[in-house]
A = this chain, B = another copy of it.
């Protein structure tokens, strides 16, 4: 098999309490990750799509954050219950879940309504 059809990175970053930027997980574990992995396997995509843990994806104010490559589709504020839509619509159906996407004006923005002005 060649490269993964899709490679999904789920931020697992957990900062110490009081850190200036928020964290995507409280303790480095992610029910979202577990659910994405389970549903991907159930959909028969286990060998083609990898659900991967990642360190900080640098979109902290929009977390929990997920990025799907090679599409380069970014999702923000993703909860475990959103896993079904991501797997069914995007990973199986090929259509990104628009309601979960981080706005273009927020992605990698030094300032935005969520991040504030730096």
Interface residues of A (CB under 8 A from B): 1-4, 7, 9, 12, 47, 50, 52-58, 67, 69-72, 74, 104, 107-109
Q: Indicate if the CB atoms of B52 and A53 lie closer than 8 Å.
A: no
Sample of 16 more A-B contacts, CB < 8 Å, known A2-B104, A4-B108, A53-B54: A1-B107, A1-B108, A1-B109, A2-B108, A3-B72, A3-B108, A4-B72, A7-B69, A9-B52, A47-B108, A50-B57, A52-B55, A52-B56, A53-B56, A69-B69, A70-B70
Q: Indicate if the CB atoms of B54 and A2 lie closer than 8 Å.
A: no
Q: Which B residues lie within 8 Å of A50 (CB)?
A: 57-58
Closest to A10 in B: B55
A-B pairs with beta carbons under 8 Å apart, 29 shown: A1-B107, A1-B108, A1-B109, A2-B107, A2-B108, A3-B74, A3-B107, A3-B108, A4-B108, A7-B67, A7-B69, A7-B72, A9-B52, A9-B54, A12-B55, A47-B108, A50-B57, A50-B58, A52-B54, A52-B55, A52-B56, A52-B57, A53-B54, A53-B56, A54-B55, A69-B69, A70-B70, A70-B71, A70-B72
